Structure 1
Amino acid sequence: MTDPKLRKPAFLITIDTEGDDLWSMPEVITTRNAQFLPRFQQLCEQFGLRPTWLVNWEMACCDVFRDFGRDVLRRDVGEIGMHLHAWNNPPAAQFDHSDGARQPCLIEYPRDDARAKIRAVTQRLEEIFQTKMRSHRAGRWAMNETYAQLLIDEGYTVDCSVTPHLSWRHDFAGRSYPGGCDYREFPSHAYWVDVDDIRRAGDSPLLEVPMTIAPGARRGVAAAVHRLVRRSPRAQRIADRIFPRHLWFRPFRGNVRQLPRMLDWAWSQGADYIEMAIHSSELMPGGSPSFPSAASIETLYRRLDQLFAAARGRFEGATLSEYRERFVAARDEGSPGGAAHSAEIAAGAQGANR
């Protein structure tokens, strides 16, 4: 086995594998994006990258995706994990459409309903793909202590729902769950979850692998603009497009050029992983607001090709479960693993914005 201390940092690709353009809240959910996924998988394989497809209920019911996912597993070129959108994941629950909530998150449900929904999609995926589900991301990045314990009860060992530096409280305004998810004080490195307080490292078998998010524009004109618009959510969204307060390692319309810079930050600071996220529907023309046309998809693929080429030789492809194995090996060998990830990414981002 390679010495954990000598391994290259992991390049993690996580795909929220779900229906078409869910941003528009369609009454009928379609899954045409499944037809467009082999191209992305092929690009990953070309560069030795091993994506983790985090699959929700409607995609588990899609014949095209089933065939695709089985092929990925048969050839051992990626991982199938679970992604959960509570509002349309069986079994049906009273809260699915109650409380005035539209598309509620699992953390808003009673514990028994949440457990039943996790179990239903887990059993469905394991039946279809004939493999144990180990990796998970919560729908709408919404995680809490109850959810973490329920995942452990179902045998999950990796979660990637935490978005460090960010708060989603405004997404829950007027809803029954008090406050939503505020990840501003969470680690941005991988850590074993404390099921009594998921902000803290503990001794559970669930490894949290937070999304790679760096602080963005925080000085000068950018800081002044954000102070002026802080009371207006709409103005904040506009300001964030011009002076983003946070830099996601995630392709959006207009940010794809900056992704290779984030590779440089992570590499120069010695981080042990970098995690990219994308939605399966963002790989289809018209499947998302970010990539509305065939031309925008071609631009995306050109940028991804450049990004993956820049990572080659410096990073090593791994699924989420494979990264967990590396993390365990590093711990057993006494290596610090990902403990410095937060400071490394933040320092690199702040330096780049000076």
Structure 2
Amino acid sequence: MAMGNLLDPPSASARARFADDLPRFILTVDTEEDFDWDLPLSRESHDTRHVPRLAKFQQFCENEGVVPIYLVDWPIANSRTAQEVLQEPVLAGRAEIGVQLHPWVNPPFQEEVNQHNSFAGNLPRELEEQKLATLRDAIETNFGVAPLIYRAGRYGLGPNTADLLADQGIAIDSSVRPLFDYSSAGGPDYRGHPLHPYWVDADRTLLELPLTSSFWGMLRRQGDMIYPRLWRMPSMRGALARLGLLERVPLTPEGVSVEEAIRGIDMALDDAVPMLVLSFHSPSLRPGSTPYVRDDDDLDALYDWWRRIFAYLAQRGVKPSCVRDVMASVQR
């Protein structure tokens, strides 16, 4: 099988199309351990205290008619509480389960824990393969379903990842984050990747669903040229956003207001992006676990963000989707 390199932007002919013209969205949850975001990564200093709060979020999504996709890493895949909360809705089709690889907490432990190795795609092929297979098998054993979607922790794809995903029966990757460049930390540069879904291989067995980020503002068409030049000047980026000239908007409640997210949705739809990919980190469901949710008021605001965004998506005619819907509707 001729599998492409996920680090390379696709050709125009690789663009994926769907059986109908309805725009769609999926909600992906980076379902991971709690850790201190301000400290160096560690194999030991983490916990899963937020996991019981997934039950409330799952019920919230069901009430909104949305099927959340939980992309679980090793500590969550082996959490008895996570299994108790998620297995029944997953088996019933009210939620879906996928893979998220955090190599520093995922066996086998052969590499040094450092920033370079926190991007799984930087690991030797055999080690990335062993970690991925170990996690995929644990998810299938503990949740009762074979996962079909993958996201690399820290968006850390590598030159071997596509082949490894195909070998593990993964049909969808959602690690590409257009408009973002992680190369200064040793990770990938996704600035040349498109927002629209595309096939990674000529046989159309691996589908990429990039996370949705858009430029907004009077200079949005020049964003690819202007924004990267300002990485040393965050205050200038803020000034451009306040003046309505240029703003980068990822579709997440973490650090993005409802009004900003709505502008991002509008820009993506104006560009005819057929699949919007929204995301956030599960520890944000417990105040104090992430920088984005510090207290109960912040948590209420997070739920309100989702409520308002779901309502706006419905107003714009964007259909809630999930892995099984994507697999059934994408044209091969």
Note whether the superposition's TM-score is higher than 0.5. Answer: yes
Question: Partner residue of 1:261?
Answer: 263
Letter in 2 for 1:36: R
Question: Partner residue of 2:194?
Answer: 187
Query: Contact 2:198–2:208 (CA<8 Å) still a contact in 1?
Result: yes
C-alpha spacing 1:241/1:44, structure 2 compared with 1 (3 Å): farther
Question: Partner residue of 1:294?
Answer: 296
Rounded Cα–Cα distance in structure 2 between residues aligned with 1:40 and 1:268: 30
Question: Partner residue of 2:4?
Answer: none
Q: Deviations over 1:190-209 (max 9, x none)?
A: 11103xxxxxxx33411001
Rounded Cα–Cα distance in structure 2 between residues aligned with 1:216 and 1:80: 32
TM-score by length of 1: 0.78
Q: Deviations over 1:11-53 (max 9, x none)?
A: 2000110011452346521111111112222222122111110
Rounded Cα–Cα distance in structure 2 between residues aligned with 1:228 and 1:15: 27
Instruction: Give 1:325 shift.
Output: 2.4
Q: Deviations over 1:311-330 (max 9, x none)?
A: 226122221342132113xx
The answer to whether the aligner puts 1:96 opposite 2:103 as a matched pair is no
Question: Partner residue of 1:11?
Answer: 25
Greater shift after overlay, 110-119 or 267-276? Answer: 267-276
Rounded Cα–Cα distance in structure 1 between residues aligned with 2:149 and 2:76: 16
Instruction: Give 1:258 shift.
Output: 1.9
Rounded Cα–Cα distance in structure 1 between residues aligned with 2:139 and 2:227: 46
Give the 4+ runs in structure 1 shifted more than 6 A: 226-229
**Alignment partner of 1:80 out of 85, 97, 105:** 97
Residues 1-354 of structure 1 mapped to structure 2, 5 A cutoff: 5-6=19-20, 8-25=22-39, 27-93=44-110, 95-97=111-113, 101=115, 104-172=118-186, 180-194=187-201, 202-217=202-217, 219=219, 230=230, 232=232, 235-236=233-234, 238-241=235-238, 243=241, 245-312=247-314, 314-328=317-331, 331=332
Q: Deviations over 1:179-225 (max 9, x none)?
A: x311111122111103xxxxxxx3341100111111245749x99xx
Query: Contact 1:21–1:289 (CA<8 Å) still a contact in 2?
Result: no
C-alpha spacing 1:6/1:287, structure 2 compared with 1 (3 Å): same
Q: State the Cα RMSD in Å.
A: 2.6
Letter in 1 for 2:112: D
The 3-state SS of whatever aligns with 2:37 is helix
Q: Percent identity?
A: 27
Query: Contact 1:9–1:316 (CA<8 Å) still a contact in 2?
Result: yes
C-alpha spacing 1:31/1:7, structure 2 compared with 1 (3 Å): same
Query: Contact 1:15–1:277 (CA<8 Å) still a contact in 2?
Result: yes
The 3-state SS of whatever aligns with 1:251 is coil
C-alpha spacing 1:240/1:60, structure 2 compared with 1 (3 Å): farther
C-alpha spacing 1:219/1:59, structure 2 compared with 1 (3 Å): same
Q: Deviations over 1:76-103 (max 9, x none)?
A: 112100000011100111x233xx5476
Rounded Cα–Cα distance in structure 2 between residues aligned with 1:227 and 1:302: 30
How many residue pairs get aligned? The number is: 303
C-alpha spacing 1:44/1:228, structure 2 compared with 1 (3 Å): closer
Specify every segment of 5 or more residues in structure 1 that has no aligned partner in the other structure, as ranges.
Answer: 173-179, 195-201, 332-354
Rounded Cα–Cα distance in structure 2 between residues aligned with 1:49 and 1:217: 30
C-alpha spacing 1:6/1:115, structure 2 compared with 1 (3 Å): closer
Question: Partner residue of 2:5?
Answer: none
Greater shift after overlay, 266-275 or 290-299? Answer: 266-275
Instruction: Give 1:143 shift.
Output: 1.0
Rounded Cα–Cα distance in structure 2 between residues aligned with 1:84 and 1:65: 17
Query: Contact 2:251–2:264 (CA<8 Å) still a contact in 1?
Result: yes
Specify every segment of 5 or more residues in structure 2 that has no aligned partner in the other structure, as ranges.
Answer: 1-17
The 3-state SS of whatever aligns with 1:96 is coil
Q: Deviations over 1:226-268 (max 9, x none)?
A: 7898473xx43x4445537421011123523322333334445
C-alpha spacing 1:270/1:162, structure 2 compared with 1 (3 Å): same
C-alpha spacing 1:321/1:105, structure 2 compared with 1 (3 Å): farther
Rounded Cα–Cα distance in structure 1 between residues aligned with 2:212 and 2:174: 10
TM-score by length of 2: 0.83
